[in-house]
Each structure stands twice: as C-alpha cells, then as structure tokens.
Chain A
Amino acid sequence: MKLVIKDLEFCYASRTILNKITMELRPSEMLGIIGPNGSGKSTLIQCIDGLLKPKMGSILLDGSDIKYISRKDMAKKMGYVPQTTSRSFFPSTVLDAVLMGRRPHLGWRSSDKDVRDVIEVLRLIGIEDLAMSDINELSGGQQQKVLIARAIAQEPSVLLLDEPTSNLDIKHQLEVTEIIREKVIERNISAIMAVHDLNLASKYTDRIIMMKDGKIFDMGTPKSVLTAENIRSVYGVVAEVINNNGGSPHIIPVRSLRRYKSAIMGA
C-alpha cells in the first residue's frame, strides 16, 4: 500500500494548522513524525485517516483519493491508534474491545473464528492473559496495548499512531514501539507514528518527518534529520547528537535555547 500526500492544507477557522504538506509513505515502512507541541502532528494523522477534512490538497491511497473512499473501506485499509487519555470507557472486556477491530470485516454475529483471531492478536501483543479483564481496570500502558491490538485486528495496510507512548513508562515505551516495529515487518504493513521522544524515533523508524508550524521542516533518514542544527531551530533546544558508528543517532538534550539566551542577557 502506497500513500501519497500532495499540498495538504488544513485550517481551523482562521488558523492554518497544516501548510503545503507533501510527503509519501512507502510500503513496509515505519515513518516517524516529530515536532514540537502544536506543530501539526496529530492533525496530519487525523487528516490521513479522513477524520478531519483538509481544506486543500489530496491524500492518495494506492492512487485513489481518500475523499471518495467510504468509512468502512477506509477501516479495512487504515488502523488508527488515538492518544491515550485517561478517559473512562463503558465497562467492556479486553476481548470485546479488540473484537471491535474486526467490525469492518464482520456481519452482526461474531463467530468463534473471530474470537480466535482476536486471541491470536492479543497473543501477538502479549496481553492474552488480560483477555477477560475490564478495560477500565487496566494501567495506561495496558490500555495502549489494547488499542494497538484493536488496530492490528483491523488488518489494515497502514497503521496510524498518535503518540502511542506519551503516557507510558520506559519499559512500556520500548515494548509498545518494539511491538509496532515487529508488526510492520511481520505483517508487511506500513506505519506512521507521531512521537515526542526523539530517541525512540531515531531507533525504530526508517524515515522521519520533522514538522514546525504546520510545515515539513526536514524529511529523511533519522541520521540526516536528527542533527543538532535541526533540533536547535525546530525545538529551540541545544542538543548533543552522538552518532555511534553507523547506528541510529542518539540525542542528549542539553538546555533550552531561551534560558541560554536570557542567561547571557542577564550577564
């Protein structure tokens, strides 16, 4: 599945959120979207899934504009994992929650086979022991895994993830990202992941899109995008970038540029 985005623009009333976004997602690729708060990462992801209607530009999925694809057909092609918020759900078991991912492929009844498929997905994610637990009683990390499981049960060709690790501890951050990375390889799907942690982006994605003020600031391999200069101009942060022989770059934030400036001015 190939996704091409051309000159995408999105506005809320008078404020332009996305400005002339042109990019593509290659088959079996994991693409990271990074950028400061308010740079348009979530909006871009929601536009791609058709949840928000862009003002201009086109989003082509294997050549056809998503404007003309029905919600149900979209659901067979794209799986969306929203940001975890600590919202309460109506009580539901994890198994039932993930079974909802089968909806685009189901009629009214769910068969034992669907339940088995769901159990398999739970096993892939490693939460099969939670199958019969109430989703409200799970930790943030576990709820995030349930949402990812549901998106995978959808059997999409493209996974869209909106900061899937923002509320998680280090172990769960790594675990969740590794799971997504594995699925991308195993199931031959592509993924777009908005992420705050630059090191996670560096370690797990094939390419990175760096956004600033609704525009694409830079695009390319982690090594080419995650440079000290880029981080300085996009985030206003002085960072040290360690390129350990050929591997993914490692970013160590040093200080924010603003405090640095005011410190100089104070002196």
Chain B
Amino acid sequence: MDMTTDKGTAMNTLNVDITDEEILNRYQKYVGRKVTFIISTIFILILFAGLAGSIGQAKITIWEAYAAFFAKFLPDYFTANWLAETTVWNLRLPRIALGIVTGAGLGIAGCIMQGVLKNPLASPYTLGISAGASFGASLAIIGGAGIIGGQYLIIGNAFFFSMLVSLIIIGFAGRRGATPETMVLVGIAILYIFSAGTTLLQYFGEESAVVQSVFWSVGSLERASWSKVYICSAVVAACIPLLMLKSWDLNILTTGDDSAKSLGVNVKHIRVYTMSLISLMVASIVCFTGTIGFIGLVAPHITRLVIGTDYRYLIPASGIVGAILIVGADIVSRNIIPPIIIPVGVITAFMGGPLFLYLIMRRRMGYF
C-alpha cells in the first residue's frame, strides 16, 4: 500500500524542481527575444533606407544621405550639401517612404489575414484584392473613354475595385455558417474573375493603353511622390493601432472558432472588423503602387518563424520585415542593369520565392 502511494506522489512531484521564478524568467527572456528582434529589424530597415538613399545617378555616400535626411529636422546638428539634400528629399525619399509604407501595410495585412482566415496562403494578393485593383486600373486606362491622362481616375478606379473585392469577401464572412475556408475560396474565385476581366480588357484594348495597363499592374515604386506618401501613410498609420488593439483576439482565434467564442471573442465581429481595416489599408496602397505580390505572404511567415505567433509582436514585426523586403528589393531592382529599373514587384517575387522555399525546406513550419 505504502509503496503505491509513494509512487503516486513521486509521479506528481517529479517535476517540482522548476520554480515559478525560473519559468517567469524564461518567459521574460522569450518575450525579450521578440522585442530584440523588432529593435534589430528597425536598425536593418534604417540601414537599408540609408543605402537606398545613397544609391543612384547622383553619387552620395550613405552618411551624406543620413545627414541630408536629418538636416531638415535638426539643422543645428546636421549639414548637407545642396545636391545631397535635393536628391534625397525630392527624388529618393518619396520612393523609400512609399516602399516602407507599402511593405509595412502589406506585411501587416498578410499577417492578420492569415490569422483571421486561418490559412497560411492568405494574403492581399491571393485573395484577389490586388487583382481587383488591377482590373479597376485597366478599366480606367483602356476603357476610360480618353481620360487616360487623368491621374485620379486610375487611382480611384483601383481603389474602388479593390474595396469591392474586400466587401464581397466580408459579405460572405457575415453570412451564417461562413467558415474561414469559404472566405479563402471566395477570394480565389474573385481573383480569377477579375484576372479574366483584365485579360479581356487588354485583349480588346489599344496597344499603347495595354502596355500602360500592364506596366501599372506590375507593382512598382516609380510613381512615388510626397502627396501619395502622405495619403498612404496616413491610412496605414491610422489602421495599424486599430488592428493591434485586437492582438489578443487574434491570438485566441488561432485556437479555433468555438474555443475563441468560449474565451469571450466575438468571432464574426473580429473577422469583419479586421478585414475592413485591412481592405482600406491595402486598397489605398495598391492603388498607388500596383500589385506587389509576395510581401503580404512572405513577410508574416518569415517573422512567424523567428518570433512565433503572438500577434502583439507579430503585427509590428511583420510590418517592419515587409518594409525591409520592399526597400531591399527596390535597391536590387535599381542596380541589376542600371539605368534600367526593373519593377519592384518582379524582384520581390524573384527574391521572395527562393527565400520562402529555403525556409520551408530548412524548418518545417508546423502549421502546413
């Protein structure tokens, strides 16, 4: 008798050697690693931005680029020559800033879409939002009844159609019995419909207009200007905190809809809320840049591999990683065969694809 009870208690107390303090300590270190990751990625982003600011036809060193940037804010401490200042502020910075905003917006959008739709393939591109934008732009460029030059027509059309796609997906999300899988399938169906629509337009379109619409749909930072940067960054900056507020709900959503509901999360509300904000964010980005694929898909996965799933850290980190990828891709795109600038959307896919394959081979992600 005594033997069995002893055994019983021995089993129960087998692991008591780990103290609360030790666990807390390890947990704090674990959280600390995530914070460290975010801080180091910020530094990498600053480095890349400096690099992008220094590369180009006008020869500027990376330090001159930083000095030119800070001279505007702190003229007492930094001085920059006229060439550096005008090149950086007028030519290169709008492009870098648009890249950062685009990368951040798309990275965060993909990260949250993958979470709320519980699908590692979800991203603004794979759900047809970008296809909607392309269709809208093509409609304006090719079928726009001679208003091709009207800048706002193209942007407005692209914005309208990408929001339309999102609204259809959100509409399905609000239906009874809608599962994340149906939303993904709806997105893919819409992707095909709008791609076909764009192809049809291009098939019947005038040659020069078709060329322009193809150029538009290949994502690029060429059209960057300060006014565009202001609009984009205002929308993205407003959406990010509103999305981050829902970090806990997003964490809980990973445990499944029923569990999430019983843990107090209004699942339908959170899907519609986050998808609406993401749509707004993505629409206001892609209407300026065109379709930049892969960032929304890859940036969150890379980040998740390093810091895990906690959305409180995953959202900002995915944004920064997305920004790094685009700014990095832009540097490459301008330097492979200068002075020709290869569209950044092509580079992100060429760089992101192999990188992604490498990551999948090297470490099983555990969720696909």
Question: Which candidate, A27-35, A98-106, A256-264, is the interface stretch facing chain B?
Answer: A98-106
Closest CB in chain B relative to A208 CB, distance in Å: 24
Closest CB in chain A relative to B9 CB, distance in Å: 12
Chain B residues with CB below 8 A from A95, complex form: 23, 27
Chain B 9-49 interface mask (CB, 8 Å, partner A; 1/0) = 00010010010100110111010000000000000000000
Question: Which candidate, A73-81, A195-203, A244-252, is the interface stretch facing chain B?
Answer: A73-81
* In-complex Cβ contact of B262 among A80, A112, A122 (8 A): A80
Q: Interface SS of chain B: helix, strand, loop or mixed? A: helix
| Size of the chain B interface, CB-CB below 8 angstroms | 36
* In-complex Cβ contact of B251 among A78, A100, A115, A128 (8 A): A100
For window 280-328 of chain B, which residues contact chain A by CB distance below 8 Å? 304, 308-310, 312
A128 near B263: Cβ-Cβ < 8 Å:
no
A129 near B18: Cβ-Cβ < 8 Å:
yes
A71 near B261: Cβ-Cβ < 8 Å:
yes
B24 near A115: Cβ-Cβ < 8 Å:
yes
B20 near A119: Cβ-Cβ < 8 Å:
yes
Closest CB in chain A relative to B29 CB, distance in Å: 9
B254 near A80: Cβ-Cβ < 8 Å:
no
A103 near B20: Cβ-Cβ < 8 Å:
no
Closest CB in chain B relative to A178 CB, distance in Å: 10
Whether A88 contacts B23 in the complex (CB less than 8 A), given A75-B264, A103-B248, comes out as no
Give the nearest-CB partner of A136 in chain B.
B366
Give the nearest-CB partner of B244 in chain A.
A108
Closest CB in chain A relative to B34 CB, distance in Å: 11
For window 251-282 of chain B, which residues contact chain A by CB distance below 8 Å? 251-252, 254-256, 258-259, 261-266
Whether A106 contacts B27 in the complex (CB less than 8 A), given A71-B265, A91-B366, comes out as no
B263 near A101: Cβ-Cβ < 8 Å:
yes
* In-complex Cβ contact of A46 among B248, B258, B312 (8 A): B258
* 4 additional contacts (CB under 8 A) given A78-B262, A96-B309, A103-B265: A90-B366, A91-B304, A119-B20, A134-B366
Interface residues of A (CB under 8 A from B): 46, 49-51, 71-76, 78-80, 82, 87-93, 95-97, 100-101, 103-104, 106, 108, 112, 115-116, 119-120, 122-123, 126, 128-129, 131-132, 134, 136, 147, 150, 154, 160
